Amino acid sequence: MFTKAVPVETEEDILMDHDYDGIKELDNALPPWWKYGFYITIGVAFIYLLNFHVFGIGLNPTEEYSAEMESARIKKEKYEASNKDRIDEKNVPMAAADGIQAGKILFEANCVACHLSDGGGSVGPNLTDDYWLHKGSLNDIYNTIKVGYPDKGMQSWSGQFTPKQISYLSSYIKTLRGTKPAAPKAQQGEFYVDEVVATDSASVIKPDSGKVAKPDTAAIIKK
């Protein structure tokens, strides 16, 4: 079963008739275990071909990757939907005093090199005025800190801080508005204040609506 080698006594029968410098060759049969192993690989290759290339039942590595990404996305969505404290750039809450204080500490530890401790700006823009490169609502500021503008020198901080911490930083930046920094950097970007619409009876306040109000619009009230 393992070998079909011819016994030494009868080797003469299978000796082939060539002779190279005294080296001769026996015409032995292939060992059956080896031969059938080889046939099996042919069978497997055939099944493989049908499975992956003809019927497309099996997933190739690229398809496997996207299937896994898709299932991770669904899991993540489920997780996030069930997490009520979740913060993203669409629903940033204005922090209370302790959150603002936490934001100030984070700001002083991470941001002052470019924005200065009073927010007046140096490498980065002035954060105390009403002019913003990337809009100035709480949601917008959150988004700027989260995604950053790395090609302009403002990195993304989402790797360093949790969403909650970024909301504290954003809230703290909001409180800088209208403060008088020692050496304010010249305004950059567009005029932006949170839209506050006054109607004739009661005033309707739409915080963070994301609209840019014109400086001369009536009834711009500091939020």
Binding site for ligand HEC (CB under 6 A): 107, 110-111, 113-115, 123-125, 127, 132-134, 141, 144-145, 149, 152-154, 157, 169, 173, 188-189
Nearer to ligand HEC, 40 or 88 (CB): 88
Q: How far is the CB of 190 from ligand HEC (least distance, A)?
A: 9
Nearer to ligand HEC, 144 or 167 (CB): 144
Contacts of 182 (CB under 8 A, 6+ apart): 116, 118, 120
Nearer to ligand HEC, 141 or 213 (CB): 141
Whole-angstrom distance, CA of residue 190 vs CA of residue 131? 5
Whole-angstrom distance, CA of residue 136 vs CA of residue 174? 8
Task: Give Rg (Cα) of the chain.
Answer: 36
Nearer to ligand HEC, 188 or 203 (CB): 188
Q: How far is the CB of 91 from ligand HEC (least distance, A)?
A: 18
* Contact indicator for 120, 184 with CB cutoff of 8 Å: yes
40 alpha carbon, distance to own chain's centre = 45
Contacts of 57 (CB under 8 A, 6+ apart): 51
Whole-angstrom distance, CA of residue 84 vs CA of residue 131? 33
* Contact indicator for 185, 125 with CB cutoff of 8 Å: yes
Q: How far is the CB of 220 from ligand HEC (least distance, A)?
A: 19
Q: How far is the CB of 155 from ligand HEC (least distance, A)?
A: 7
Nearer to ligand HEC, 145 or 213 (CB): 145
Q: How far is the CB of 151 from ligand HEC (least distance, A)?
A: 8
Q: How far is the CB of 54 from ligand HEC (least distance, A)?
A: 52
Nearer to ligand HEC, 11 or 175 (CB): 175
Whole-angstrom distance, CA of residue 212 vs CA of residue 189? 12
